[in-house]
């Protein structure tokens, strides 16, 4: 087993990971030796699929906007579960990050004054979402990648899959990694680590996310005994294309698109009189499912999926081509539907993991509810939970989150390195144990096809842990997941080869998804209220008296434990949420 020594190892190459690499490099005067480890090619991380834009108050004097208003919108959108100190940090730094991406080459759409154009987004009371057509994440990723490859102190390890997080007490030691191309194993032994692996929406069958969004970083932390936070809050994006789940950006509604039911009515008038289609995502998703349950949906015969219409025809070809070209291209290529001429079939799909690795305000990973910090370990972007989105994220806040905490973690880690002489020693018995883990999986002598487990898990989550939940459904999901976990011990790998063994990679991902799906389900079962993205029939209302707190979930020898942490409230007291 090869052992590589670095100052910083960054797991994940999305917007958060690459941003952190740039700032950590700058903050150490390009002296820190940094490794970026990614299971994909670095420029192909799921951040490329972000479409609509990035939030930030850029021209307050022109738009009558303010940081406080952005913070208020975000907190109200979060159904008051967001930590308000984190939200204030987000809105304060977001404008600077939009400018940073301008400075590294993102092709922002511009207005007549050569300024960055901003569009309306759900739950935002003023247009404050900067965008580059409907490929914002893609342009940000390309700019970041091009910036990072020119840093001589940063090495990128493409297609390296991390399978263990190594800790010594509450101290980060390194990562065990498998190189997909050769099958060889290596340990990245580093003074500090950043986990930036994104979300876990692939635990669902109908999802907007890439096949790679399997929550690997969250699972690594969870398996190592560290806590996750607020896992019950999974965002369902209202408008995913039926039947393939590809995201149709919220910007389609931001630019003026309508949602209509089978009778052609703009039904959002019933659910959010003022904001209509631009209500926050949890509200729009529930509205769509309510319409479908009331028999006002349409049905796609082949998949049996019910849907409603997203109508963009009145926007006209010019607006669609200038501001929404990719969704037009996708609808044409995948469904042979041109949104200029026909409405699009859409329904809610798993989109974003609001929960994640439990961190403090600065993205440092926590070892318990509120006291102990893991030395030398950060978790940023979607995989971390600061928590800035609470129980429901507003569209376009995720890209600002990745950029803001990418910079924070990069700078923090530079300070940390100044104070830290050496990484904790890598003990020999750990190296030996890690070197046997992969062959143990390859040698499994069972009979179950792991892909069967994956598809069963995805179906279970889609059926029982979706937009509306009931205790009974959640119990069913819990039982089914524990059956699948047992079944997983009895799997068989057809591919025993060393070189580019994607069968093995898939099995490691399925293992991760099983653990995370269990955490989501147990947290959902535990929360006896409806808040943000978590809507449960038995407790239809928000309960601030008992449940204005984060769920903290962790693995113990006896099973899964759940604890709590109070929400940080600074200036905005919880109020009824009306749009």
**Residue 116 binds another protein (CB under 8 A):** yes
Closest CA to 461 of 521, 541, 406, 411: 521
Residue 248 in contact with residue 240, Cβ under 8 Å? yes
**Residue 500 binds another protein (CB under 8 A):** yes
Size of the chain, expressed as the number of residues it contains: 579
Residue 467 in contact with residue 286, Cβ under 8 Å? yes
Touching another protein, residues 336-375 (CB under 8 A): 336, 338
DSSP β-bridge partners for residue 36: 10, 156
- What's the gap between Cα 375 and its chain centre? 24
Interface with another protein (CB under 8 A), residue from 37, 98, 346, 357: 98
**Residue 150 binds another protein (CB under 8 A):** yes
Q: Residue 369 and residue 566: Cα distance in Å, rounded?
A: 10
**Residue 44 binds another protein (CB under 8 A):** yes
Interface with another protein (CB under 8 A), residue from 503, 548, 549, 562: 503
Closest CA to 324 of 121, 51, 132, 134: 134
Draw the binding track, 369-408, toward another protein (x: CB under 8 A; -: no contact): ----------------------------------------
Touching another protein, residues 281-320 (CB under 8 A): 301-302
**Residue 114 binds another protein (CB under 8 A):** yes
Neighbouring residues of 245: CB distance < 8 A, sequence distance ≥ 6: 206, 207, 208, 349
Interface with another protein (CB under 8 A), residue from 76, 128, 323, 328: 328
Q: Residue 206 and residue 347: Cα distance in Å, rounded?
A: 9
- What's the gap between Cα 17 and its chain centre? 13
Touching another protein, residues 465-494 (CB under 8 A): 493-494
Closest CA to 8 of 492, 540, 409: 409
Touching another protein, residues 127-146 (CB under 8 A): 135, 138-139, 142-143, 146
Q: How is residue 464 written in tokens?
A: 């029982």
- Please say which residue, 25 or 551, places its beta carbon nearer to another protein: 25
The helix-helix angle for 216-223 and 502-526 (nearest 10°) equals: 70
Active-site positions? 237, 253
Draw the binding track, 4-43, toward another protein (x: CB under 8 A; -: no contact): ------------------xx--x-------------xx-x
Residue whose structure tokens are 């007490």: 169
**Residue 110 binds another protein (CB under 8 A):** yes
- Please say which residue, 168 or 338, places its beta carbon nearer to another protein: 338
Half-sphere exposure of 310 (CA within 13 A, CB side): 32
Q: How is residue 479 written in tokens?
A: 């039982």
**Residue 513 binds another protein (CB under 8 A):** no
Interface with another protein (CB under 8 A), residue from 210, 359, 397, 551: 210
**Residue 147 binds another protein (CB under 8 A):** yes
- Please say which residue, 269 or 499, places its beta carbon nearer to another protein: 499
Interface with another protein (CB under 8 A), residue from 71, 246, 394, 481: 246
């Amino acid at each position: 087993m090869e052992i590589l020594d670095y100052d910083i190892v960054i797991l994940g190459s999305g917007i958060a990971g690459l941003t952190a690499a740039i700032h950590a490099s700058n903050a150490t005067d390009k002296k820190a030796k940094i490794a970026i480890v990614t299971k994909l090619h670095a420029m192909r991380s799921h951040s490329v699929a972000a479409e609509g834009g990035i939030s930030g108050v850029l021209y307050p004097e022109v738009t009558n906007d303010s940081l406080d208003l952005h913070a208020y919108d975000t907190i109200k959108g979060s159904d008051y579960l967001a930590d308000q100190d984190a939200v204030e940090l987000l809105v304060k730094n977001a404008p600077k990050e939009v400018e940073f991406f301008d400075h590294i080459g993102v092709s922002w759409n511009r207005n007549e004054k050569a300024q960055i154009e901003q569009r309306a987004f759900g739950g935002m009371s003023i247009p404050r979402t900067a965008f580059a057509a409907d490929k914002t994440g893609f342009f940000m990723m390309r700019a970041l990648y091009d910036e990072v490859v020119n840093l001589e102190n940063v090495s990128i390890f493409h297609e390296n899959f991390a399978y263990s997080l190594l800790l010594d007490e509450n101290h980060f030691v390194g990562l065990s990694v498998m190189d997909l191309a050769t099958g060889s194993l290596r340990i990245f032994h580093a003074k500090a680590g950043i986990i930036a692996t994104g979300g876990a929406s692939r635990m669902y069958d109908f999802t907007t996310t890439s096949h790679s969004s399997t929550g690997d970083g969250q699972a690594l932390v969870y398996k190592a005994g560290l806590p996750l936070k607020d896992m019950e809050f999974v965002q369902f994006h209202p408008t995913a294309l039926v039947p393939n789940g590809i995201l149709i950006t919220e910007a389609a509604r931001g630019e003026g698109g309508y949602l209509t039911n089978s009778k052609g009515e703009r039904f959002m008038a019933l659910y959010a009189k003022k904001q209509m289609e631009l209500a926050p995502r949890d509200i729009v998703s529930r509205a769509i499912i309510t319409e479908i349950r009331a028999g006002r949906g349409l049905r796609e015969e082949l998949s049996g999926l019910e849907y409603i219409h997203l109508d963009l025809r009145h926007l006209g070809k010019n607006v669609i081509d200038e501001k929404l070209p990719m969704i037009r291209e996708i609808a044409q290529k995948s469904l042979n539907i041109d949104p200029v001429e026909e409405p699009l079939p859409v329904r809610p799909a798993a989109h974003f993991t609001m929960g994640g690795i439990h961190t403090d305000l600065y993205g440092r990973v926590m070892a318990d509810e509120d006291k102990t910090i893991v030395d030398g370990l950060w978790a940023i972007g979607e995989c971390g939970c600061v928590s800035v989105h609470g129980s429901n994220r507003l569209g376009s806040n995720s890209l600002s989150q990745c950029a803001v905490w990418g910079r924070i973690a990069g700078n923090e880690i530079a300070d940390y390195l100044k104070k830290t002489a050496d990484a904790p020693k890598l003990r020999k018995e750990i190296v030996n144990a890690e070197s046997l883990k992969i062959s143990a999986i390859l040698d499994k002598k069972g009979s179950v096809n792991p892909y069967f487990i994956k598809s069963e898990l995805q179906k279970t989550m889609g059926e029982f842990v979706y937009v509306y939940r009931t205790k009974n459904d959640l119990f069913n999901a819990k039982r089914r997941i524990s059956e699948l976990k047992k079944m997983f011990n009895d799997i068989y790998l057809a591919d025993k080869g060393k070189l580019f063994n994607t069968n093995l990679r898939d099995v490691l991902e399925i293992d991760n998804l099983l653990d995370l799906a269990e955490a989501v389900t147990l947290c959902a079962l535990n929360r006896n209220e409806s808040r943000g993205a978590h809507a449960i029939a038995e407790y239809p209302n928000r309960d601030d008296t008992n449940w204005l707190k984060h769920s903290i979930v962790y693995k113990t020898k006896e099973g899964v434990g759940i604890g709590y942490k109070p929400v940080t409230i600074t200036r905005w007291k919880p109020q009824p949420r009306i749009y």
